[in-house]
A = this chain, B = another copy of it.
Amino acid sequence: MRTIKLFFVCMFFCTFAAFGFQNTQLDYNALYKIKDEGLNNSQVMDIAWNLTDRIGPRLTGSEGLKNAYDWTSGQFKEWGLSNVKVDPWGDFGRGWDVRKSYVAMTVPYYQAIIGIPKAWTPGTNGLISGEAVYVDAQSEADLAKFKGNLKGKIVLMPTSVEAKTTFEADARRFTDEQLEGMTSERVSNSNSVFSQRRISDFRRAAQLRNAAYQMFKDEGVAMILNTTRGGGQGTFFTSNGSRNDPEALPEMEVAPEHYNRIVRLLSKGEKVMVEADTKTEFHESDEKGYNVLAEIPGQDPQLKDEVVMLGAHLDSWFAGTGATDNAAGSAVMMEAIRILKESGVPLRRTVRVALWSGEEQGLYGSRNYVQSEFMKNGQPNDNHAKLSAYYNMDNGTGAIRGIYLQGNEALRPIFKEWFSAFEDMGANTVTIRNTGGTDHQAFDGIGLPGFQFIQDPIDYGTRTHHTNMDLYERLQGADLRKNAIIVATMVMQTANMDEKLPRKPKVFETSRRR
- Give A contacts to B, CB under 8 Å: 49, 53-57, 63-64, 97-102, 104, 108-112, 114, 116, 162-173, 232-236, 255-257, 260-261, 264-265, 268, 270, 277, 321, 458-459, 463, 468-469, 471-474, 476
Contacts and interface: CB of A to CB of B under 8 A. Distances in A.
Contacts of A232: 469, 473
B162 A167 contact: no
B469 A257 contact: yes
A104 B100 contact: yes
Contacts of A233: 170, 233-235, 463, 469
12 contacts: A49-B268, A56-B109, A57-B109, A57-B111, A98-B111, A165-B171, A165-B474, A167-B171, A232-B473, A233-B463, A234-B235, A261-B472
A112 B108 contact: no
Given A54-B270, A114-B114, A165 B476 contact: yes
Contacts of A49: 264, 268
Contacts of A468: 234
Given A165-B474, A233-B463, A102 B109 contact: no
Given A64-B109, A100-B110, A472-B261, A168 B169 contact: yes
A99 B111 CA distance: 8
A498 to B, nearest CB: 43
A63 B108 CA distance: 11
A282 to B, nearest CB: 15
A165 B459 contact: yes
Nearest to A234: B234
Contacts of A54: 108, 265, 268, 270
Q: Which of A101, A111, A172, A471 has the most CB of B within 10 A?
A: A111
A171 B468 CA distance: 22
Nearest to A99: B110
B459 A166 contact: yes
A321 to B, nearest CB: 8
